[in-house]
Amino acid sequence: MTSPAVPLSLLLLFAILSNTFADPDPLQDTCVADLSSGVTINGFVCKPSNNVSANDFFFDGLKNPGLINNSLGSLVTAANVLKIPGLNTLGVSLARVDYAPGGVNPPHTHPRATEIVFVLEGELEVGFITTANILITRTIMVGEVFTFPKGLVHFQINNGVGNASVLAAFNSQLPGTQAIALTLFAASPPVPDNVLAKAFQIGTMEVDNIKSGLAPKK
């Protein structure tokens, strides 16, 4: 028995609704996030309008290079809704990434945003991997721009002899970041060793060694 054909009118309705159900535009001039509220919604509740000030829309944390003191040799300074409450509902944020020579922003994803970077200093090798497992990569220099599609694994590395930095823009107030190594080997509670051993075709002892290297330093 064959299934009945879907009426054209129903297909058109699905197409209309699929656009309608995208993130809505703001319904008011501002909705400054009340980060102290205990109310949980998809975003943040708004502060009372009589409690809003210019400081809710201001952040000066990107004007200077970040202090890099980690083994990766890179530092991300975010300018998202957690730093700028006035970004709530506006669907945009920034970050500054600074790299020491040899520094890497390791493979990671942003589940809620596309990213575009503008090189402020130095040069970087950048790339992302498609779902067909194809690496798209090139070197970018001062004044140049590169885009990382939403949700795809991507990275940047400074192969130069001097420092490098980029300004990154996102089409989300809170893009989220999942660093692949940390996500898999430093989750809490931990991903079972036998799952990781099978996935990476290594032994459980090697898994434990990787986990110990990525564990938070006390």
Specify binding-site residues.
105, 108, 110, 115, 154
CB 214 within 8 A of CB 186: yes
Q: How many helices (H) and strands (E) does the chain have?
A: 4, 10
Going 51 to 52 to 54 to 59, the CA torsion angle's sign is: positive
Secondary structure (DSSP) of 97-155: EEE-TT-EEEEEE-TT--EEEEEEESEEEEEEE-TT--EEEEEEETT-EEEE-TT--EE
What residues form the annotated binding site for oxalate?
Answer: 105, 110, 115
Residues tagged in the binding site annotation for Mn(2+): 108, 110, 115, 154
What distances in angstroms separate CA 152 from CA 19, 107, 113, 125, 129, one per listed residue?
23, 10, 10, 17, 6
Contact 160, 101 (CB under 8 A): yes
Phi-psi region of 133 (alpha: psi -120 to 50; beta: other; left: phi over 0): left
